[in-house]
Amino acid sequence: MVKETILVYARVKPLGRRQEAGIYSIEDDEKSLSTLEIIVPHDLADGVVNNKRESYKFKFQKIFDQEAKQDVVFDSIAKPVAECVLAGYNGTIFAYGQTGSGKTFTITGGAERYSDRGIIPRTLSYIFDQLQKDSSKVYTTHVSYLEIYNECGYDLLDPRHEASRLEDLLKVTIMEDPDQNIHLKNLSLQQATNEEEALNLLFLGDTNRMIAETPMNQASSRSHCIFTIHISSKEPGSATIRRSKLHLVDLAGSERVAKTGVGGHLLTEAKYINLSLHYLEQVIIALAEKNRSHIPYRNSMMTSVLRDSLGGNCMTTMIATLSIDKRNIDESISTCRFAQRVALIKNEAVLNEEIDPRLIIVQLKKEIQELKDELVLVTGKQRTSELSQEELLQLDKLIGTFLKDNDPDSALDVGADMRKIKYCFVHMKELMNHSKISDRKWLSQHTSEEKDTNKEAEELEKMKELLQQRDNEISILYILVNMLKKEKKKAQDALFQLNAASAGIPCAVPSSADDYYLSVGENMSLGCQEAFEVFKRDHADSVTTEDNKQLLKQRFAEAKCLGEKLNEVRNKINNLKGKITQRHIQKAALAVSSPSEELNMLDPVEEKLRMQIEEEKKRYYFCLKLLPSCGR
């Protein structure tokens, strides 16, 4: 980045034959700036003759006096700027001064002699010379030629120029991009591959400029002309392009309207000229001031076009052209004052490098192809950009298995194929989004039906309780049925036992009625037993049941007592029967040993035993008669 002030030069035009020279002197200093001193006699300043003189001193980079030749001016002023432009920086050289002070002569040159060639043809010549010498880069050169007249822009290289009036031509308009770069619409950029082509274009532009000019309308002095050389350079194979441009500006005459003494159409022109130069001056004042944030570039087309050259990214040089004859002294002073302000502006020129997107695309395409080839070589597989249907299905399966696998160490291995890896991510995202949606649906349903569910739960609880109650009742009924069945069976058994006893069959009799109930309860669970107890207690017939129970107990006791008596009687009877049998055996033995008549006679002992048996039998039947009443 180069940061330096705008270099300001002065050039004094040779005096015409009839012109009377003003008083001025030039003090050249090789090391620092040169000084131009202009002396104004007082009779000129206020019209009153006196011998006092007023001196005005101005500093310039260099001052070219009347005899300075075009080649010297070019070497000092334009060559350094052209070199910068060749290096990739933007450059501007503009000439400022009153009409007839030599602006066009300096910028374009005089037509009479070849040596009168101005800065434009000399710069073109120099640039093409340099480009030819440098084979390390590929250069492209274009030129454009813009004329600004009455605040309108015209393309001086437009071929229609010859056949049309200036007013009928397409106007060049200013376009601004988002980065506030200026683009000129309808201004053609003509390619010039060599010096000759470029000079032809310059000649075409100058011719067009002159056609518009009539003796009545000296447009050239009232218009601004900007000849621009555009250079782009690129090293072979590199994507970096350097673009630079050099504006060579021939401004309209800086003289004040009052001085011109014109009216009507010319006055309008003069207003425009002066207005645009006035705006140029305002821009320059603003730029020279420190801490000015707003620079009024937009006020005129001229300042808009030169925005990049004045206070922007540009190496800018100004040439103040002075017509130093007596009558133009005040205009010369005004030009010098303007130049002094311009000299205060500091510009920052930076290299204009950019990357050519087309070249980058070509490079990247080549790189992609090389990488693809390499991939085919390594994997042995030709890869298409899309995965096949079969591969997609296989991936779906793999993802499914992976998601179902609860093992934290399980991995989803699809190999080193970015297409597959990307597909897996997309697929899993879809699955996740889907599950999120169904979760949300469930949540919203759940919230809206929460109250209903609570009601249902309450009802369910009630039903459960009811069912439990019914279950208890059923099991109690079942127990009762069983109990009744068993009771019936016991009663039948008791009857059977008594009958059997009467026939001499021994039988087991329950020791008590409690034993019976215990035997019923043994088959029940603890819950059932408890429920049974509650049922027994709360049952409507519980008192009767209790009475019956007591009665039953009593009867059982009586039956037991009778049973015991019956057994006792039966034993006695059997005992007496045994004694009789014993007596018979004794009598038989006696008859064998000592037969006698007495043995056939009635035995009183036996008779007594038989009597006792009869007595016991009576008692037995009595007890047996009693038994049914207590067994019922």
Sites of contact with Mg ion (CB under 5 A) = 103-104
Beta carbon nearer to ligand ADP, 150 or 254: 254
* CB nearer ligand ADP, residue 113 or residue 451: 113
Residue 97 sits in the site that holds ligand ADP (CB under 6 A):
yes
Which DSSP state fits 506?
Answer: -
At closest approach, how far in Å is the CB of 331 from ligand ADP?
11
Closest to 145 in 3D by CA, of 169, 115, 179? 169
In the complex, least distance from residue 321 CB atom to ligand ADP, rounded to whole angstroms: 6
Residue 65 contacts ligand ADP per CB under 6 A: no
Binding partner of 153, given Mg ion, ligand ADP, none, CB within 5-8 angstroms per partner class = none
Distance of CA 553 to the CA centre of its chain: 94
CA angle 596-598-604, nearest 5°?
Answer: 145
- CA distance linking residue 246 with residue 91, whole number of Å: 5
CB atoms within 10 A of CB 223: 28
Stretch that binds ligand ADP, among 44-52, 95-103, 177-185, 543-551 (CB under 6 A): 95-103
Number of other residues whose CB lies within 10 A of the CB of residue 214: 9
Residue with the CB atom nearest ligand ADP in the bound state = 102
Binding range to ligand ADP, per CB under 6 A, among 25-33, 93-101, 356-364, 601-609: 93-101
Is the Cβ of residue 218 or residue 475 nearer to ligand ADP in the bound state? Answer: 218
Count of residues engaged in binding ligand ADP, rule: CB under 6 A: 14
Task: Give least dist CB 103 to Mg ion, A.
Answer: 5
- 304 and 298 Cβ atoms separated by less than 8 Å: yes
328 touching ligand ADP, by CB under 6 A: no
3-state secondary structure of 196: helix
The entry of ligand ADP, Mg ion, none that residue 41 binds, CB within 5 to 8 Å by partner kind: none
Q: Which residue in the set 41, 80, 110, 510 belongs to the binding site for ligand ADP (CB under 6 A)?
A: 110
Q: Give the interface segment with ligand ADP, choosing from 102-110, 333-341, 400-408, 510-518 (CB under 6 A).
A: 102-110
149/420 Cα distance (integer angstroms): 66
Tokens found for residue 264: 């009507």
Q: What are the tokens at 532?
A: 């049974």
Q: For residue 296, which of 283, 287, 309, 307 has the smallest C-alpha distance?
A: 283
- Is 103 or 245 the residue whose CB approaches ligand ADP more closely? 103
26 binds ligand ADP (CB under 6 A): no
Q: How far is CA 282 from CA 92, 152, 212, 241, 307, in A?
A: 19, 20, 29, 35, 12
Q: How far is the CB of 97 from Mg ion (least distance, A)?
A: 9
Q: Which residue stretch of 94-102, 274-282, 554-562, 613-621 sits at the interface with ligand ADP (rule: CB under 6 A)?
A: 94-102
Choose between 103 and 247: whose C-beta lies nearer to Mg ion. 103
User: Out of ligand ADP, Mg ion, none, which partner does residue 311 contact, by CB within 5 to 8 A per kind?
Assistant: none
Q: How far is the CB of 254 from Mg ion (least distance, A)?
A: 11
User: Which one among 80, 100, 521, 631 touches ligand ADP, defined by CB under 6 A?
Assistant: 100
Distances 95 to 100, 252, 344 between C-alpha atoms, Å: 12, 9, 17
Beta-strand relationship, 152-155 and 138-149 = antiparallel
Nearer to ligand ADP, 11 or 242 (CB): 11
Residue number, 28 or 471, with CB nearest to ligand ADP? 28
Binder of residue 578, out of Mg ion, ligand ADP, none (CB less than 5 to 8 A by kind): none
Among 91, 102, 121, 153, binds ligand ADP (CB under 6 A): 102
Per DSSP, the three-state class of 186 is coil
Candidates 14, 527, 578, 595; binder of ligand ADP (CB under 6 A) is: 14
121 binds ligand ADP (CB under 6 A): no
DSSP state letters, 313-378: SSEEEEEEEE--BGGGHHHHHHHHHHHHHHTT-EEEE---EEE-HHHHHHHHHHHHHHHHHHHHHH
Residue 518 to residue 513: CA distance in whole angstroms: 9
The neighbour count for residue 26, using CB atoms within 10 Å, is 15
Residues 562/626, Cβ–Cβ less than 8 Å: yes
CA count, 13 A, side-chain hemisphere, 94: 29
13 binds ligand ADP (CB under 6 A): yes
Nearer to ligand ADP, 100 or 631 (CB): 100
Of 99, 150, 228, 497, the one binding ligand ADP by CB under 6 A: 99
- Separation in Å, CA 367 to CA 356, 374, 582: 17, 11, 139
Stretch that binds ligand ADP, among 100-108, 202-210, 292-300, 600-608 (CB under 6 A): 100-108
Does 103 engage in binding with ligand ADP (CB under 6 A)?
Answer: yes
The residue count for the chain: 632
First-to-last alpha carbon distance for the chain, in angstroms, is 134
91-96 vs 240-250, strand pairing mode? parallel
Find out whether 208 and 153 touch, Cβ atoms under 8 Å.
no
Taking the least distance from each CB to ligand ADP, the nearer of 14 and 578 is 14
State yes or no: residue 274 binds ligand ADP (CB under 6 A). no
> Residue from 34, 90, 92, 104 that binds ligand ADP (CB under 6 A)?
104
Q: Does 321 bind ligand ADP (CB under 6 A)?
A: yes
Q: What angle do CA 261, 266, 270 make, to 5 degrees?
A: 75
Q: Report if residue 210 touches ligand ADP, rule: CB under 6 A.
A: no
Confirm or reject binding of residue 221 to ligand ADP (CB under 6 A). yes
Q: Is 521 one of the binding residues for ligand ADP (CB under 6 A)?
A: no
Residues at the site binding ligand ADP, with contacts judged by CB under 6 A: 13-14, 97, 99-105, 110, 221, 253, 321
